[in-house]
């Protein structure tokens, strides 16, 4: 039972304390292996602390936070994703030119920022969580200072993120000026039963949507995505694709439900246009890519469009469908980028599609894991991605959004091509006699492979028996 604020915020406090503890271990001059293992244990402790958050819910920490079923689910998803990123990071950073120890401090801080977003019920907590997340990502993206493409990606993200934060703040200011409150729950009473939004509030929401749209990388705010995905270290790319977008999407859902935005036609039209553009343009741009990281970047734009299809109707199925698809997307994306991570060499990332030719003959297990992840992203039956898209379509069709459903189906069909092209590359060609199994740090290589195998089994299990996960989240409510 949640007895006090300290108990309610325990996962967040543990993440903040873990960042400080890792800094102390670095000061004591612990080596990379010790730092990585320590951070892994701290992530596990933070994740387990979620289970001490018991009902009754929701629990309000006025005026900034609210702990409810949805926020607990998102915190668990975010910390679990960061834990997986932590595991696959050791092989990638070991032996690199930069000291990897500080990387784990930044990982904790960015995870904390994502969790703050998940429980935010106020503009101040929203902005603080977003900035903690974003500032940490500046450093993570440009972590390898000697590599020009890393620095380029970091600068692009820094400049565009600064602009988006300015739009976000200005939009918040206009909404505060109109309503006189920054608390999401209080805005419901201020807006009352009006059928059309005041022009000042509508302008503020539009500016705020620009800032959030940049963080989610939906069209037309997607320009940075491919360059940053390609330039960032591969574990950081997986973090951006999952934790960063998941936290922002969670707070967007909470805010929109708080103001009951589904009854305002103008807002719904904007979201419908963004969803259609993201699905169509994201898949079209992915078709042209030969770099796998850039391909997955544009693919992620389309997947955010799919999420909006479930979000826009605002019916009883919307939150469960969004929660289910977020869980599926997190697991699948972590698996795909995990393969890229452990196959990367000390000098170069594994990202060109030609590098994957005949991978099955050299690394059959990894090739099968990667294929499963790609099939799930494509939405092929017997994978979690298929069930996720099914729930999204059910949510959209239940309220009569036939156009969105049709665009989702058509864009998914032509999106199959680039996923199947990679899979075809994995199994084409002949075995390279000179190729040898990766033996550097064999223990950590084995651990990473086991984790990715577990995620693959999870993808298949959810795809075949989805009722377990759906029963877990079908009663989620945002209050």
Which residues sit opposite 59 in a β-bridge? 67
Distance of CA 199 to the CA centre of its chain: 32
* Bridge partners (DSSP) listed for residue 120: 65
Residue 71, both tokens: 């926020």
In this structure, what token pair is assigned to residue 343?
């196959």
| Contact of 66 with 119, CB cutoff 8 Å | yes
Cβ-contact 318, 257 below 8 angstroms: no
Residue with tokens 């377990």: 468
CA distance 335 to 330: 9
Q: What is the pTM of this model?
A: 0.91
**Spatial contact of 165 and 131, defined as CB atoms under 8 Å apart:** yes
As given in the structure block, the two tokens for residue 455 are: 């995620």
Which pLDDT score, from 0 to 100, does residue 436 have?
A: 46
Question: What is the model's pLDDT at position 326?
Answer: 92
pLDDT in the model for residue 471? 81
Which helix (H) or strand (E) segment holds residue 111: the answer is: helix 101-119
Q: Which of 69, 68, 111, 61 is nearest to 86 (CA)?
A: 111
3-class secondary-structure state, position 58: coil
Residues in CB range of 344: below 8 A, 6 or more apart: 92, 234, 350
Contact (Cβ atoms closer than 8 angstroms) between residue 389 and residue 412: yes
d(CA 175, CA 182): 8
pLDDT at residue 259 in the model:
82
Confidence at residue 477, expressed as pLDDT on a 0 to 100 scale: 60
Rounded distance between C-alpha atoms, residue 139 and residue 132, angstroms: 12
For residue 42, which of 68, 20, 72, 64 has the smallest C-alpha distance? 20
Cβ count near 380 (within 10 Å)? 16
Residues with Cβ < 8 Å from 38, sequence gap 6 or more?
Answer: 21, 22, 25, 30
In order of 30, 94, 436, the CA distances from 441 in angstroms are 18, 9, 14
Distance CA 34, CA 125 (A): 33
Check residue 437 and give its pLDDT.
Answer: 46
pLDDT in the model for residue 1: 47
DSSP state letter for 383:
S
d(C-alpha 288, C-alpha 294), whole Å: 10
pLDDT (tens digit, 0 to 9) for every residue of the chain, 479 residues total?
455 778 888 889 999 999 999 999 888 877 888 888 899 999 999 999 888 876 667 788 888 888 888 888 999 999 999 999 999 888 888 766 566 778 899 999 999 999 999 999 889 999 999 999 999 898 888 887 767 778 888 888 888 888 888 999 999 999 888 888 888 888 877 776 666 778 888 888 889 999 899 989 898 888 888 889 988 888 999 999 999 899 999 999 888 888 877 887 888 888 999 999 999 999 999 888 888 999 999 999 999 999 999 888 877 788 888 889 999 999 999 999 999 988 887 777 778 888 888 788 888 888 899 999 999 998 888 899 899 999 999 888 888 888 888 999 998 888 888 898 888 888 876 665 444 444 456 777 888 889 899 999 999 999 998 888 888 887 666 65
Q: What is the pLDDT of residue 307?
A: 92
* 120: helix, strand or coil: strand
d(CA 77, CA 191): 32
């Amino acid at each position: 039972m949640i007895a006090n604020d300290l108990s309610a915020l325990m996962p967040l406090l543990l993440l903040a304390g873990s960042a400080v503890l890792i800094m102390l271990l670095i000061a004591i001059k612990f080596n990379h292996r010790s730092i990585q293992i320590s951070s892994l244990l701290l992530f596990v402790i933070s994740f387990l602390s979620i289970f001490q958050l018991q009902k009754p819910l929701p629990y309000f920490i006025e005026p900034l936070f609210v702990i409810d079923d949805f926020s607990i689910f998102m915190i668990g998803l975010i910390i679990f994703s960061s834990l997986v990123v932590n595991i696959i990071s050791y092989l990638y950073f070991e032996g690199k030119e930069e000291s990897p120890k500080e990387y784990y401090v930044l990982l904790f801080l960015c995870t904390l920022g994502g969790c703050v977003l998940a429980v935010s019920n106020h503009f101040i907590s929203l902005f603080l969580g977003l900035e903690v997340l974003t500032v940490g990502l500046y450093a993570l993206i440009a972590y390898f200072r000697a590599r020009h493409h890393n620095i380029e990606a970091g600068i692009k993200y820094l400049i565009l993120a600064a602009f988006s934060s300015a739009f976000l703040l200005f939009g918040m200011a206009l909404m505060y000026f109109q309503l006189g409150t920054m608390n999401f729950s209080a805005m419901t009473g201020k807006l009352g039963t009006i059928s059309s939004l005041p022009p000042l509030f509508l302008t503020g929401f539009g500016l705020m949507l620009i800032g959030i749209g940049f963080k989610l990388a939906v069209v037309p705010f997607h320009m940075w995505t491919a360059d940053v995905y390609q330039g960032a270290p591969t574990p950081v790319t997986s973090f951006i694709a999952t934790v960063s977008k998941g936290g922002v999407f969670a707070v967007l859902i909470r805010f929109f439900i708080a103001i009951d935005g589904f009854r305002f036609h103008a807002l719904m039209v904007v979201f419908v246009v963004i969803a259609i553009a993201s699905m169509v343009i994201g898949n079209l741009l992915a078709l042209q890519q030969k770099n796998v990281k850039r391909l997955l970047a544009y693919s992620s734009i389309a997947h955010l469009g799919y999420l909006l299809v479930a979000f826009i109707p605002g019916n009883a199925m919307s939150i469960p469908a969004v929660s289910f698809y977020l869980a599926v997307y997190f697991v699948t994306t972590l698996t795909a980028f995990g393969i890229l991570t452990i196959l990367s060499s000390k000098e170069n990332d594994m990202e060109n599609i030609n590098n994957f030719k005949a991978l099955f003959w050299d690394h059959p297990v990894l090739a099968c894991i990667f294929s499963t992840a790609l099939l799930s992203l494509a939405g092929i039956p017997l994978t979690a991605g298929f069930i996720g898209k099914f729930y999204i379509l059910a949510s959209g069709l239940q309220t009569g959004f036939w156009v969105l459903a049709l665009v989702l189906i058509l864009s998914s069909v032509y999106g199959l091509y680039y996923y199947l092209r990679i899979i075809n590359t994995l199994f084409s060609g002949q075995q390279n006699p000179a190729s040898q199994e990766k033996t550097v740090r064999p223990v950590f290589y084995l651990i990473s492979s086991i984790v990715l195998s577990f995620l693959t089994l999870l993808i298949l299990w959810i795809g075949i028996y989805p009722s377990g996960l759906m029963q877990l989240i079908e009663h989620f409510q945002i209050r």
